[in-house]
Amino acid sequence: MAAIDARALSKSFGGRPACREVSFTVERGEVFGLLGPNGAGKTTMLRMLAGLYAPDSGSAEVAGCLVGPGRPGGPELRARVGLLTEAPGFYDRLTARENLTFFARLQGAREVERRCSALLERFGLDLHAARPFAELSRGMKQKLAIARALVHEPEVVFLDEPTVGLDPEATREVRSVIAALAAEHATIVLCTHHLDEVERLCSRAAFIAGRLVAVHEIRQEGLLRVELAAPFAPDGVLQGLFRNVRTQGSALFIEPRAEVPEIVAALVAAGARILSVTPHQDPLEDAWLALLAEARLR
């Protein structure tokens, strides 16, 4: 059973559509990206899935809880999901520990003191736990916000623009936290417009521009680039040896079924002159720009 199953979710504000019939699934233990330009509807989608907005139409099942029109979730859903918003809303005069403890109790966390101490230590905040929130650096504040999203041990974690406005050092710190969560097989939905962030952290991403443009596989294991001396049509030559193949100039991009030597032998036997065979992964930027251009033509 998927952690998230969104089916044709739509939401408008003042008659202006923010999301239109967006559908996708997120598997348990997956880091999934919501990618798109500013104003594309990513945050609206995230807030519907987290139970803050009720959709106008469509439905979703999130961590076993149903979200639909007139039904934005409820206490059961909020207990099962964690949410990092763009503006975390901590109390400036309370210390880091006091803030985290307050929200842990508000969210019904178990063993509040133990849980807060563990998260503060894990995110390198234990030495700063007694400092007022207003005195923390931007990176520390963001790590505390992620700790708050995790404090009640949710099944699904939503992160909305986790590195926005951070300097490079703080950005690296926050990304390392997310990567550590991913390594533990946490189910994470990462909402961002930074392509490199999705490429580093996610296995798949939904491209959103008001509506769903496509769901893209980020990590293409085993894709090969075969550089040839001259353009070559592979039709029929690699029958049964590949899942997909495309040409670009004198290069072939192959998703193989067979071992590399067998593919090379078939190409050579058909008269292809091979210059090199290397592993390949399509740059996410190329895929995104191509999909965006295609969407604008529809």
Question: 224: which 2 tokens?
Answer: 């090969």
pLDDT at 75 over 80: yes
pLDDT in tens, 208-262: 877 777 787 776 556 788 899 988 887 777 777 877 777 778 888 787 778 888 8
Per DSSP (E only), the strands in 154-295 are: 156-160, 187-192, 204-209, 211-217, 224-228, 242-248, 251-256, 274-279
* pTM of the model as a whole: 0.78
The ranges assigned to domains in the chain are: 4-217, 224-280
Among 5, 9, 28, 44, CA closest to 156: 28
User: Domain 224-280 - what CATH class?
Assistant: alpha beta
Question: 76: which 2 tokens?
Answer: 């059961």
Task: Work out the pLDDT band at 200, boundaries 50, 70, 90.
Answer: confident
pLDDT in tens, 121-178: 999 999 999 999 999 999 999 999 999 999 999 999 999 999 888 888 888 888 888 8
Tell which CATH classification among 3.40.50.300, 3.20.20.70, 2.30.42.10, 1.10.3730.10 matches the domain 4-217.
Answer: 3.40.50.300
- Fold match flag (4-217 vs 224-280): no
